[in-house]
Amino acid sequence: MKEIRFIYYFKIWLVMAKNSFLGWIFKRGAIAIFLTGKLIRYFFYFLFLYFLTNQTQGFLGYTKDQILFFAVSYLFVDVAGQFFFRNVYTFRQLVISGDLDLILSKPTNSLFRVLMGGPDLLDLITIPPIIFLIFYFGTPVFSNFANVFYYSALLLNGLIISAAFHIFVLAFGVITLEVDNLVMIYRDILSMGRFPIDIYKEPIKSLLLVFVPIGIMTTVPAKAMIGLVSPVGVLSALIFGVSLFTLSTKFWQLALKKYTSASS
């Protein structure tokens, strides 16, 4: 039954993705401009890391290859989160216009619709090169296949935590209509995970591990690949991610109870 339900929602997501992509296809000029901007930003980011690590031969006890691996792991979580949850950026307009009423009246899960209803074509284009870089920079730090499994599971866990953050934003959007500012705050905080969170002193380091778990999203997966996270640490991170996601869905349900329909 659960498999059938998964297939049902996967087909719905494919339709929503197709509609979102078609909207971009008719804006070829915009695609070229935005994609060029993304590529230039990533180019200069890695150029900065290259010169930084070349001059220092790494830092914080990490080698150059390990620092670059931290960077691509961060990029994957960041870009994949934007790809799947881009629809959150337009959620405020749904509430203001009353279109959220229409979504809530449908048999499809409303949270699924508003969270994953508009994947971004530009981020889809940039994901394959990032995956290639993960393999490229991950090869020098590879130690055993168990760590590869831990790394993959923790990257998925990072996306689950990203989903939880976006659900919290949606819930606040229902209650306060504040979505755009909260999303930008999330993006700014996430950018602190570009480097291993070991660069931060206490109590900021602990804050980025527990209260704003950017470290669990970006640093812990790369550390697991390098072999610096125990199986207990991996399990704890996974439990934390699932718990945070569950809490965010509860908050979403609470927000819907406070929602005042546009037609009321």
Asked if residue 216 has pLDDT above 90, the reply is yes
**Mean pLDDT computed over 85-109:** 85
More confident residue, 162 or 176: 162
Residue-wise pLDDT for 158-175, tens only, equals 999 999 999 999 998 888
Query: Structure pTM?
Result: 0.88
Radius of gyration of the chain (CA): 19
Helix (H, G, I), strand (E, B) or coil at 59: strand
How is residue 229 written in tokens?
């996270």
Helix (H, G, I), strand (E, B) or coil at 106: coil
pLDDT tier, 124 (very low <50, low <70, confident <90, very high otherwise): confident
Max avg pLDDT among 61-70, 183-192, 220-229: 220-229
Q: What is the pLDDT of residue 3?
A: 64
**Residue 24 CB burial class (10 angstroms; 0-12, 13-18, ≥19):** middle
Q: What is the pLDDT of residue 24?
A: 67
Taking a C-beta distance cutoff of 8 angstroms, is the pair 43, 36 a contact? no
More confident residue, 171 or 49: 171
Taking a C-beta distance cutoff of 8 angstroms, is the pair 123, 83 a contact? yes
Residue-wise pLDDT for 149-161, tens only, equals 999 999 999 999 9
Cα four-point dihedral sign 125, 74, 115, 31: negative
Strand partners, 62: 59
**Residue 227 CB burial class (10 angstroms; 0-12, 13-18, ≥19):** middle
Taking a C-beta distance cutoff of 8 angstroms, is the pair 229, 223 a contact? yes
User: Phi/psi of residue 131, each to 5°?
Assistant: -65, -40
Max avg pLDDT among 27-41, 115-129, 239-253: 239-253
Closest by alpha carbon to 242, among 213, 205, 215?
213
